[in-house]
Amino acid sequence: MKILVTGAKGFVGKNLCAQLNNIKSGKAKCYGNMTVSQVYEYDIDSTLEQLDSYCKEADFVFNLAGVNRPQNPEEFMQGNFDFASTLLNMLKNHGNTCSIMLSSSIQATLQGRFGDSEYGRSKKASEELFFEYAKETGAKVLVYRFPNLFGKWCRPNYNSAVATFCNNYANDLPIKVNDPNVELELLYIDDFVDEMIAALKGEEHHCEFEGVETVLRDNGRYCAVPTTYKVTLGEIVALLEEFKKQPETLLIPSISTGSFAKALYSTYLSYLPKEKVSFPLKMNVDARGSFTELVRTLDKGQVSINISKPGITKGQHWHNTKWEFFIVVAGKGLIQQRKIGTNEVLNFEVSGEKIEAVHMLPGYTHNIINLSKTESLITVMWANELLDPNKPDTYFEPVN
């Protein structure tokens, strides 16, 4: 399949083209048997001659090109409607009735706060142009009305509050929130891309609109991405505050699969300057080696790195409820556990040459011994709960 993407160098186009090229090269294997043989990338620095040749060859067109921040309002119609006319005329001239997608906006509803939107009127005009083109040529037309998009590579201080907030928090710049209760409907760029791939396969989602609200319907005139997030500016700021503090607290916020927080965290990280990409960890060092906390969570425990010098034994304690995984990643060691009140010792020889996880069982006193005389023993340790200094649940008792 040969695919034309207009507006290919913009935030949305860049993300879509990157994934299409991943499919083309065979790097993305999560889309079944779909193949991409060519991705034609058209943008403002391309020529009309190039666009014309792309329109002749394309099997599918994503029209993402458009103007959303012009110097003069009349440029909305020129940049959106006029380019759409040029694109469709080129396709008609070549008799190419391939499927074509139009990137429109929720502002095209011209409802509510969008009722006086020049941008919305230009998008609405483009929509009607595409629908007329479908009637005239029989081509399949997919008109998507998108809310605000966010994600990596989005330009800050332009037309995305999320991009601006993420960039400013990452770079220690001020932000301004006049009303934290203002709610936004947001679409994450990865969800957008997944829907575009679905559209290529003929599996797009259709919808209608009740005012500015999207209502999914199988026979709807319009198309939509089924997953969006409705969040307030205050909620976004609160999450960004957590993310910014993570290198100090080591706390990973709740970022469950499919959550807005997960998408926002990835977006925030993409704006970090070089000097914040790495950060120091506090190493607790003594004569035996070191112990360093790596990450902490509120409900899923913490991960630490333990380094034992040659011949050293660490541990010799037990817990009532806390349990752990010990995972040796370098060196050779012996893990021993003994159930409290018994004499039976469980022995586990471990090595970085064969990585495995060993449970530290509740009610068993345990240790870890570096068997080497020359090399350090490096162990990743996961505990199911954070250390509570007021109730550490840790009791000294030698295994042997």
The residues assigned a catalytic role are 119
DSSP letters spanning 273-330: -HHHHS----EEEETTEEEEEEEE-SSS-EEEEEEE-TT-EEEEEE-SS--EEEEEEE
How far apart are the C-alpha atoms of 300 and 118, rounded to whole Å? 49
User: What does each C-alpha distance from 57 to 53, 91, 188, 347 come to in angstroms?
Assistant: 7, 9, 30, 67
Residues 199, 31: Cα–Cα separation, whole Å:
12
**Tokens of residue 91, six digits:** 């396709």
DSSP 8-state class, residue 238: H
| Assigned token pair, 92 | 């008609």
CB atoms under 10 Å from CB of 347, counted, come to: 10
Half-sphere exposure of residue 193: CA atoms within 13 angstroms, side-chain side: 22
* Amino acid in the structure at residue 51: L
Distance CA 293, CA 305 (A): 6
Residue 364 CA to residue 369 CA, distance in Å, equals: 16
In angstroms, the CA 383 to CA 291 distance is 13
Among candidate residues 126, 7, 147, the one with its CA nearest the CA of residue 76: 126
Whole-number Å distance between alpha carbons of 265 and 136: 45
**Which stretch of DSSP H or E encloses residue 142?**
strand 141-146
